[in-house]
Amino acid sequence: MKSSRILKFITILFLLGSSIFIWSYLKGKKSEEKFRSVPVEKGDIRISIQATGTAQPQNRLEVKPPIPGRIESIRVREGERVQRGDVLAWLSSTERAALLDAARAKGEKEVSYWEEVYKTTPLVAPMDGVVIVRNMEPGQTVAVQDVPFVLSDRLIIRAQVDETDIGKIKKGQESEIVLDAYPQFTIPGKVDHIAYESKTINNVTIYEVEVLPSRVPAFMRAGMTSNLSFIVEEKKNVLLLPEEAIQYRNGETKVLVPGDEEPSKKRVYKEIKTGLSDGKKTEIREGLNLGETVLVREIKVWKSNGKEAGRNPFMPFGGRRR
């Protein structure tokens, strides 16, 4: 029992001593305010909404043969642009193919006769577009359900926009497209369509937004992933300050500026009016001019002897903080 009381007494003394040491250490410090100067600059500011999307054909059309038979010749290649009515391939019906095969056993004259009498059937493009798929080669047999070609009228970007942002998206709104495969290129575009029905992906409600590129570069392919920036508002060549320089005091927007040389007026607050902010920079509409300097507070902790505090009392041997 006696040893237990002695242990408690020693513990209390240790805690008391530790508290006195920590209190003395903290009391020996003082905070000194430091300021850095930031000039008012001119630049561009933009508020945008970020989204991801995929390059896809706006209208994807499968071209199927009108009759079963055999492909005699193909006149287009993948990636080639065609117009409505262009012949993509020539086909022989099943009967014509059988007659020609039988005629070849009788000689070229017999083949020429049946080729003249029994004409091939054209497979034509039903719309203007680009051949994005070519599945067949000459000599292959086809059925009416086969798809020798797929056409696309134009490539667009289908983006997924969160429902919290969809209210800021409008038809015709400017956007920028950056393909993951070609991050060094920025492709301008405009919103062409906003879906009327939402989708739920991973418990998030999204709306599909179609963005039409102003130009489709030769390297763009269907299925490519892209990052999009929908430009909500943008201003060019305006006065800007870092967001950290702006202070909100009693319902007013102010900045700290250098004052007179008198100690009591070394720094004064100045009221300003702001505009757009992207979270990093803020537009200055009134109260400051280009090149004027504002002060941004920095706080450093110093020891009572004037040297910068650099040791932690809680680390063994006063270890240096990292």
- pLDDT average, residue stretch 260-274: 76
Q: State yes or no: pLDDT of 96 exceeds 90.
A: yes
For position 14, what pLDDT does the model report?
66
- Fold of domain 32-45+237-303: 2.40.420
Name the β-bridge partners of 233: 47
Q: What is the pTM of this model?
A: 0.61
Give yes or no for a contact between 245 and 255, defined as CB atoms under 8 angstroms apart.
Answer: yes
Sign of the four-CA dihedral 285, 286, 287, 288: positive
pLDDT tens by residue, 126-169: 999 999 899 999 999 999 999 999 998 888 999 999 999 999 99
Q: What's the mean per-residue pLDDT of the chain?
A: 85
pLDDT tens by residue, 173-204: 999 999 999 999 999 999 999 999 999 988 99
Query: How would residue 222 be classed by pLDDT, with cut points 50, 70 and 90?
Result: confident
Alpha helix (H) residue ranges in the chain: 2-27, 94-103, 108-117
For the domain bounded by 48-57+154-234, which CATH number is listed?
2.40.30.170
Q: State yes or no: pLDDT of 303 exceeds 80.
A: no
- pLDDT average, residue stretch 249-271: 79
**Which two structure tokens, joined as six digits, stand for 144?**
């009416």
**Of the CATH numbers 3.30.930.10, 2.40.50.100, 2.40.160.10, 2.30.110.10, which one belongs to the domain with range 64-152?**
2.40.50.100
Residues in the chain, overall count: 322
For position 300, what pLDDT does the model report?
56
Query: How would residue 310 be classed by pLDDT, with cut points 50, 70 and 90?
Result: very low
For position 320, what pLDDT does the model report?
37
**Which two structure tokens, joined as six digits, stand for 116?**
């003249």
Q: Where are the domains of the chain?
A: 32-45+237-303, 48-57+154-234, 64-152
Burial status of residue 134 (CB atoms within 10 A of its CB: 0-12, 13-18, 19 or more): middle
